[in-house]
Amino acid sequence: MSSRRDPGAPPVRRALRSAKLVALPVAFAGRQAAGAGRRALGRSAQEVNRDIQSRTAEHMFAVLGELKGCAAKLGQLLAIYQLALPRDIAAPYQVALARLQDSAPVMLPATVHAVLAEHLGPDWRELFREFDDRRAAAASIGQVHRGVWHDGRAVAVKVMYPGARAAVESDLVQLRRISTLASVFLPGADVKSVTEALCESVRAELDYAAEADNQRAFARVYADSAEFRVPEVLDQRGDVLVSEWLDGIPATRLIESGSRAQRDRVGELMMRFVLTGWEQHGLLYCDPHPGNLRLLADGRLGVVDFGACAPWPHPGFTRLVVEMCDAIFNGGPAAVETAVRAHGFALPGRAFDAVALDAALSACAEPVRHPRFRITTPWLRKQVLRTTALRLTNVMRELTLPPECTPFARAALTMVGTLSQLECECDFGDELERSVPELGEVFAVMRSAPARGVSAN
């Protein structure tokens, strides 16, 4: 029996995967030590630091890309991190991240056929009029092929990498181990609980049956929608999911070359899809990144990939949103502190600077204060820098995230990152009010009062 491993499958041996992940901080420390030596020999600190950043970015994303599993998913989520870096330092991370997203290992046709035979049966070809062995797209735990179903419909066939489950479980073990390091940066957070919530959301993406159920729920709700198109699920068995193929312009292409009107429409509809979806069927769509969005020829937003969905809202969600927004827009430091403590964003007994928090939240909420606002990457970079700065005086370091809010935080961060890439302009307050009508009174009070000052720091 051959011991050769398919280059398209993730390495699953725990020791190998652990060694690769552990090597990242070790290598970084080595580069820093070497950099100190080069500075001593006369090279400028700026030149040495840029070299360290570039080598670290290349190493980080090369390892994450090879490991696949949730390591690749976490690598994709790091995209928002580079927004906090100055442009010259962020460049290596942007290049390496693009390489990770565009060059995932390809499953060889023989492996794809074996997976299809295992889950659809040995006569799987009879289900298709055509099947393209070339992958049409890559995902974090699988890849997508284009085909023609037996009834003539164009289809997207999502096939999971062999060994993906073992790979992800191994990654989650490592994530739990290294998550304790987050307490250095966020001493006020309940890191363990949030990590467990994140692990559960990642693990859920391994369940193609649940993904199919999620997609069917969204497709039923939007079957006659003039704004959204969700492809119908045609078959799902084990690690294979067959859906209708959506033709349209990917949001990734619109970010590069789309018109202003196209980008605004995709951003506005994406926000509406995420914010109002749970009201329709109790599910939150957690993965609104550009790769999952299409602008269709009839102007609708096509949405794919429903592996990352969560039941929402949790009990008291509407009250949480209304009270937090009222405090931010119409209250002040005391009102913000009361709302933050009431809804579990600060651990009991932990003190924090309510004045600083009020200023930070007011700045982040700026888009809602205007009838129309354009979210750009420079604006988002300013907010990320404000909230992630590793200063001891940064009030965000003293807060935490209730574990039940983890899915919403993931969706919100991904959504805002996509809005900034699209440079979307719309009425953000109106979109929020569509989702939570109770915010109407809060926003009415805000608009009738003098604008509160926003700190520049």
Tens digits of residue pLDDT in 214-245: 999 999 999 999 999 999 999 999 999 999 99
The reply to whether 282 and 221 lie within a common domain is: yes
pLDDT value of position 36: 44
Q: Which of 81-85, 165-169, 425-429 has the lowest mean pLDDT?
A: 81-85
The reply to whether 127 and 241 lie within a common domain is: yes
* Final residue of a structural domain among 266, 288, 307: 307
The reply to whether 134 and 262 lie within a common domain is: yes
Residue 171 lies in a domain: no
Residue 42 structure tokens: 């006369």
Percent of the chain predicted with pLDDT > 90: 46
Residue 211 lies in a domain: yes
The CATH number covering residue 300 comes to 1.10.510.10
pLDDT value of position 438: 93
Tens digits of residue pLDDT in 270-289: 999 998 877 777 889 988 98
The reply to whether 53 and 97 lie within a common domain is: yes
DSSP single-letter state for residue 426: E
Q: Comparing 149 with 80, which gets the higher pLDDT?
A: 149
Q: Where is mean pLDDT largest: 3-7, 30-34, 76-80?
A: 76-80
pLDDT-based confidence at residue 392 (cuts at 50, 70, 90): low
Average the pLDDT over 416-431 and give the result.
94
Tens digits of residue pLDDT in 17-35: 444 444 444 444 444 445 4
Q: Which of 15-24, 231-240, 413-422, 443-452 has the lowest mean pLDDT?
A: 15-24
The reply to whether 220 and 75 lie within a common domain is: no
The reply to whether 275 and 356 lie within a common domain is: no
pLDDT value of position 62: 52
Q: How far apart are CA 381 and CA 94, in angstroms?
A: 14
Residue 192 lies in a domain: no
The reply to whether 321 and 294 lie within a common domain is: no
Number of domains in the chain: 3
| Prediction pTM value | 0.79
- Structural domain boundaries enclosing 269: 109-160+206-307
The reply to whether 156 and 271 lie within a common domain is: yes
Q: Are 8 and 107 in contact (CB under 8 A)?
A: yes
* R_g of the chain computed on alpha carbons: 23
The reply to whether 74 and 126 lie within a common domain is: no
Mean pLDDT of all residues belonging to the chain: 79
The reply to whether 114 and 244 lie within a common domain is: yes
The reply to whether 290 and 235 lie within a common domain is: yes
DSSP single-letter state for residue 108: P
Residue 180 lies in a domain: no
The reply to whether 341 and 361 lie within a common domain is: yes
Q: Are 164 and 206 in contact (CB under 8 A)?
A: yes
pLDDT of 156 above 50: yes
Residue 184 lies in a domain: no
DSSP string, 264-302: HHHHHHHHHHHHHHHHHHSEEE----GGGEEE-TTSPEE
